[in-house]
Amino acid sequence: MTTPALSIPKETNPLRALSGFGQSVWLDYIRRSLLTSGELKRLIAEDGLRAQSEAPDRQTRAKARMGNLYGLA
């Protein structure tokens, strides 16, 4: 069985397109330059960044808590 290719216009940001499939973009590291350069703000505004974690294991725990809140876990 094959899955047809998704049709996403070239001008569409692929990271933003993920939200149409119920997915959220997470960043799993923090560095000072993200804040001081304005890059974090750009990631949120242009790429649809939804969450940030300093450690992947924190991301996993956050997803579990969210799942519990919404009855998904």
Q: What is the pLDDT of residues 15-24, one digit of tens each?
A: 888 888 888 8
Has residue 7 been placed in a domain?
Answer: no
Is the whole-model pTM more than 0.85?
no
Cα separation, 54 vs 42, in Å, equals 19
- Supply 57's token pair: 């294991």
Whether 55 and 28 have beta carbons less than 8 Å apart is answered as yes
Q: Which domain holds residue 55?
A: 15-69
Residue 8 falls inside a structural domain: no
Instruction: Tell me the pLDDT tens digit for each residue of 7-60.
Output: 666 678 888 888 888 888 888 777 889 889 999 999 999 988 887 666 656 667
Number of structural domains (the chain) is: 1
CA distance 21 to 59: 20
Is residue 6 included in any domain, yes or no? Answer: no
Residue keyed to tokens 């330059």: 33
